[in-house]
Amino acid sequence: MAQKSWQLSRRELIRGGGAALALPLLNGMSWGRAAAGKDLPKRMVVSYISYGVYEPKSEKGAHHDWSWWPCKDPGPLTFNKSAAPFEPLKDSVSYLRGLDHAGGYALGGHSSGDVFATGADMVNKEKTNNISIDQLAAKVNGHKTRYASLVMGTEGGTGSYGNCKTLSHYGPGRPIPSLHKPQDIFNRIFKPYAGKSIEEVRAELKREASVLDLMLENSKSMKNRLGKDDQGKLDEYLESIRALEQRVERTSKWTQTPLPEVDSKGLKLDAPLRDPVDYTRCMYDLLYLALQTDSTRYASFMLESESSTQNEVGKFASFALGYSGQTHDIAHKRPHESGLWDNWRAQQHAYFLKRLRDTKEGDGNMLDRTVVLWGSSHPHGSHDTKNYPIHLAGGNALGFKHGKLHAFEGNKKVPLANLFVSMLNAVDVPTEKFADSTGKMTEVLA
Amino acid sequence: MPDMKRFVIAVVAVIATCGQMLSADIPPGPEGFKSRVAPFFKEHCVTCHGPEKNKGKITLHAIDGDISTGREVERWEQILKALKSGEMPPEDRKQPDEAQRKEMVEWIEVGLRDSIAKSGMVVTVPTARRLTNFEYQNTMRDLLGFKLNLIKNLPEDPVKPYKFNNTAEYMLLGPEQLDRYLENARRAMASAIVDPGVPKIHKSEMKWQARATDVGLGSNELGVYGNRRGTPATGMGVKSWPTTGEYRVRVKASAILPPGTTELPLRLVMGYNLNQNLAMLQMEPVGTAYLRNDKEHSQVFEFRGRIENYPVEPGIVGKDGKPGPPSLHITPQNLYDDGTLNDDLSFQKPRNVLLPRAVIDSIEFEAPLVDVWPPEHHTRILFDSPLRKSDPKAYVREVLKRFISRAYRRPATEEDVNHFAKIYAIVSDKLETLEAAMRETLSMVLISPQFLCHTVSEDNSLRQYELASKLSYFLWGSMPDDELMRLAAQNRLDDPAVIETQVRRLLADPRSRDFIDNFTTQWVSIDKLKSVKINTALFPRFLYLVPAGERKGTEEPYRPTIRDYMHDETVAFVAELIRRNAGVSNVVDSDFACLNVPLAAHYGVEGVTGHELRPVAIKPEHHLGGLLTHGSVLVGNSTGSAPHPIYRAVWLREAILGEEVKPPPAEVPALSDTAGDAAEKAVSIKDLLRKHRQNESCNACHARLDPWGIPFEQYNAIGKYQPKVPAASVKMVRGFDKKIDMDLAGYSTYLNRINTVPVQADSEVPRGPKIDGMEQLKAFLLKDRIDDIGENVLRRLLTYGIGRELTYRDRVEIEKLHQQSKQNNYKLQDMIVTICQSPTFRDFQTKPKGK
pLDDT digits (tens, 9 = 90+) for A56-75: 877 777 888 899 999 999 99
Closest Cα in chain B, distance from residue A370 (Å): 26
Spatial CB neighbours of B779, under 8 Å, sequence gap ≥ 6: none
pTM of structure: 0.85
Which pLDDT belongs to residue A316? 86
Tell me which chain B residue has its CA closest to the CA of residue A171.
Answer: B174
* DSSP strand pairing (A150-153 vs B129-130): unpaired
Closest Cα in chain A, distance from residue B484 (Å): 22
> A15 — contact with chain B (CB < 8 Å)?
yes
Please report which confidence band the pLDDT of residue A383 belongs to, taking 50, 70 and 90 as the band edges: low
Which pLDDT belongs to residue B784? 93
CB contacts of A27 in chain B (<8 Å) are 176, 179-180
Task: Name B267's bridge partners.
Answer: B288, B333
- Is B635 strand, coil or helix? helix
CB contacts of B174 in chain A (<8 Å) are 170-171, 173-174, 236, 239-240, 243
Which pLDDT belongs to residue B682? 43
Which pLDDT belongs to residue B588? 98
> A123 — contact with chain B (CB < 8 Å)?
yes
Tell me which chain B residue has its CA closest to the CA of residue A240.
Answer: B175
Contact state of A240 with B178 under an 8 Å Cβ cutoff: yes
CA–CA separation, B392 and B387 (whole Å)? 6
Closest Cα in chain A, distance from residue B620 (Å): 38
pLDDT tens per residue, range B576-595: 999 999 999 999 999 999 99
CB contacts of B276 in chain A (<8 Å) are none
Q: Is the model's pLDDT at A17 over the cut of 70?
A: no
Tell me which chain B residue has its CA closest to the CA of residue A204.
Answer: B430
Q: Which of residues 180-199 of A touch B (CB under 8 A)?
A: none
Contact state of A12 with B243 under an 8 Å Cβ cutoff: yes
CA–CA separation, A201 and A21 (whole Å)? 8
Q: Which of residues 68-107 of A touch B (CB under 8 A)?
A: 105-106
Which pLDDT belongs to residue A172? 85
Residue B781 is which amino acid?
Answer: L
Which pLDDT belongs to residue B11? 42
How is the beta sheet containing A150-153 ordered, strand by strand?
A: A75-76, A404-407, A93-99, A388-393, A370-375, A43-48, A298-302, A150-153
Which pLDDT belongs to residue B765? 86
Tell me how far CA of residue A162 lies from CA of A17, A252, B41, B528, B653, in angstroms.
Answer: 37, 38, 39, 12, 22
Which pLDDT belongs to residue A23? 31
Q: Which of A18, A174, A204 sits opposite B439 (nearest CB)?
A: A18
Which pLDDT belongs to residue A32? 31
Separate counts of helices (H) and strands (E) for chain A = 10, 10
CA–CA separation, A145 and A260 (whole Å)? 12
Give chain B's residues under pLDDT 70: 1-24, 56, 119-126, 279, 317-321, 550-551, 664-686, 688, 691-692, 694-697, 700, 844-851
Q: Which of A2, A215, A229 sits opposite B282 (nearest CB)?
A: A2
- CA of residue B634 relative to chain centroid, distance: 16
- Is B161 strand, coil or helix? coil
CA–CA separation, B598 and B631 (whole Å)? 12
Which pLDDT belongs to residue B809? 79
Closest Cα in chain A, distance from residue B63 (Å): 22
Contact state of B426 with A214 under an 8 Å Cβ cutoff: yes
Mean pLDDT confidence for A400-424: 95
Count Cα neighbours of B613 within 13 Å in the Cβ-side half-sphere.
19
Which pLDDT belongs to residue A30? 27
The more confident residue out of B421 and A122 is B421
CB contacts of A386 in chain B (<8 Å) are 666
Tell me which chain B residue has its CA closest to the CA of residue A272.
Answer: B280
Contact state of B436 with A19 under an 8 Å Cβ cutoff: yes
Q: What is the ipTM of this complex?
A: 0.78
For residues B613 and B551, the answer to whether their CB atoms sit within 8 Å is no
Contact state of B458 with A228 under an 8 Å Cβ cutoff: yes
Spatial CB neighbours of B449, under 8 Å, sequence gap ≥ 6: A219, A222, A234, A237, B455
> A124 — contact with chain B (CB < 8 Å)?
no
For residues A329 and A316, the answer to whether their CB atoms sit within 8 Å is no
Contact state of B128 with A230 under an 8 Å Cβ cutoff: yes
Please report which confidence band the pLDDT of residue A11 belongs to, taking 50, 70 and 90 as the band edges: very low
Closest Cα in chain A, distance from residue B2 (Å): 19
CB contacts of B186 in chain A (<8 Å) are 13, 16-17, 20
Asked if omega into B374 is within 30° of 0 (cis), the reply is yes
Asked if omega into B89 is within 30° of 0 (cis), the reply is yes
CA–CA separation, B623 and B611 (whole Å)? 22
Contact state of A214 with B128 under an 8 Å Cβ cutoff: no
Which pLDDT belongs to residue B432? 80
Please report which confidence band the pLDDT of residue A434 belongs to, taking 50, 70 and 90 as the band edges: very high
Convert A252-283 into a string of H (helix), E (strand) and C (coil).
HHHCCCCCCCCCCCCCCCCCCCCCHHHHHHHH
For residues B276 and B557, the answer to whether their CB atoms sit within 8 Å is no
For residues A307 and A163, the answer to whether their CB atoms sit within 8 Å is yes
> Residue B4: how many CB atoms within 10 A of its CB?
17
For residues A264 and A252, the answer to whether their CB atoms sit within 8 Å is no
Q: Which of B160, B189, B455 sits opposite A230 (nearest CB)?
A: B455
Q: Which of A20, A160, A211 sits opposite B159 (nearest CB)?
A: A160
Q: Is the model's pLDDT at A16 over the cut of 50?
A: no
Instruction: Identify the structural domains of chain A with CATH numbers, from first to last.
Output: 31-192+261-444 (3.40.720.10)
Please report which confidence band the pLDDT of residue A406 belongs to, taking 50, 70 and 90 as the band edges: very high
Contact state of B152 with A161 under an 8 Å Cβ cutoff: no
Contact state of B174 with A236 under an 8 Å Cβ cutoff: yes
Contact state of B179 with A27 under an 8 Å Cβ cutoff: yes
Which pLDDT belongs to residue B241? 97
pLDDT tens per residue, range B219-249: 999 999 988 888 999 999 999 999 999 999 9
Closest Cα in chain A, distance from residue B851 (Å): 15
- Is A27 strand, coil or helix? coil
CA–CA separation, B665 and B347 (whole Å)? 51
